[in-house]
Structure 1
Amino acid sequence: MSSRVGFRFLNNARFTFRNASGPFRRPGGTGFRFQSSDAAAEQQSTFQRMWNSPVGVKTVHFWAPVMKWALVIAGISDFSRPPEKLSLTQNAALMATGAIWTRWCLIIKPRNVLLAAVNFFLGCVGVVQVGRIYSWQRSQSGSDADAIKEIANEAEATAKDVVEKTEAAVKKS
């Protein structure tokens, strides 16, 4: 596979230099122009280009990050709450969601940088809150081992609860 990529690069480079103008121009070469192939896009206003863009105002690629900023703002407002009132599982979920979706937003086509940015900040808020919860639990228990066991027990209880609810929902259907 890697040899094919190199072969494609070599062929594209040869084509470019073969048709180039200036010092690389060969006799009889056509050269190339440095202008956009879409003249209509140049005549549109900024608003029209944003409206007709594949990640523009009338698409979910724009509105998903706008709505997701509410989660980031809610997480930031929780900075003032005492750590004992915060949910570890909720903030761990925000942290994981932020990390996973930040990467995913940069892979999908069209690449959605706005959604990647909001997910990055969502992950940062989750990291800060989980750190606050962990340090509070550590200060309460007196040792790191006790805090880690307590976090693990809480996560295990939550997982068991989710499994039980899922099994009950499957039995109903």
Structure 2
Amino acid sequence: MSSSRVGLRFFQNSRTAFQNLASPFRRPGLKARRFQSTEAGASTAPAQSFLQRSWNSPVGVKTVHFWAPVMKWVLVLAGLSDLTRPADKLSLTQNGALMATGAIWTRWCLIIKPKNVLLAAVNFFVGCVGATQVTRIFLHKRAVDGSSKEALKELSHEATDPAKAAVHRAEHKAEELVKRH
């Protein structure tokens, strides 16, 4: 053991008396277990079965960290069932959103604590299904129109046309209100 490590422990243990006075709501004995090795705790703890470990896990069966990914597999199944639909009936914006959220949330699930590998897996497959469908849509548009630029143009119109229509309706209603008063 290095001398700097001993000095660090001495410093941390010397602060214990002051911290206990400063915060009376801490659990007693919490600091006493601070420097136990994991081997010592593992040898004294009884062995747990797979079911007990998964039940007591921070991402176990009794938490939302387990059930949310299980329910999200429905999105993957729906995307897989859409593989049988013709590409011209698929929404480019919807599948683009699935692709993007799948990629973003896969990365996020591997950063958060506790890591949720089950949620990362389902998000990865949501992204894969979205990417597959977007590819199918672009290939179909290119086969029909002769270029993928038309598909991108349609995507921008599909995204902006509803917003423009809403603004136009709002302007029209505002003009009606002004005319009434």
TM-score, structure 1 as length reference: 0.69
Cα deviation, residue 15, structure 1: 4.5
Query: Greater Rg, structure 1 or structure 2?
Result: 2
Alignment of 1:94-109 (within 5 A): 94-109=98-113
Partner residue in 1 for 2:54: 50
Conserved 8 A contact 1:41-1:49: no
Aligned residue among 101, 121, 127 for 1:123: 127
RMSD of equivalent CA atoms: 2.9
Aligned residue among 86, 104, 107 for 1:82: 86
Cα deviation, residue 159, structure 1: 4.9
What is the percent sequence identity of the aligned residues?
Answer: 62
| Structure 2: runs of 5+ lacking an equivalent | 7-35, 171-181
Give the secondary structure class of the aligned counterpart of 1:54.
Answer: coil
Task: Give 1:69's aligned amino acid.
Answer: W
Give the secondary structure class of the aligned counterpart of 1:37.
Answer: helix
After superposition, the Cα gap between the structure-2 partners of 1:145 and 1:36, relative to the gap in structure 1 and judged at 3 Å, is same
Aligned residue among 60, 63, 81 for 1:59: 63
TM-score, structure 2 as length reference: 0.67
Q: How many pairs does the alignment contain? A: 139
Give the secondary structure class of the aligned counterpart of 2:113.
Answer: coil
Conserved 8 A contact 2:138-2:148: no
Partner residue in 1 for 2:148: 144
CA distance in 1, matches of 2:44, 2:111: 29
Alignment of 1:11-50 (within 5 A): 15=5, 35-39=39-43, 41-50=45-54
Partner residue in 2 for 1:29: none
Task: Give 1:37's aligned amino acid.
Answer: G
Cα deviation, residue 137, structure 1: 1.2
CA distance in 1, matches of 2:122, 2:40: 32
CA distance in 1, matches of 2:123, 2:62: 21
| Structure 1: runs of 5+ lacking an equivalent | 1-10, 17-31, 168-173
Q: Deviation string for 1:136-169 (max 9, x for gaps)?
A: 11221122332321222112224546x76xx9xx
Which one is further off, 40-49 or 57-66? 40-49
After superposition, the Cα gap between the structure-2 partners of 1:101 and 1:159, relative to the gap in structure 1 and judged at 3 Å, is farther
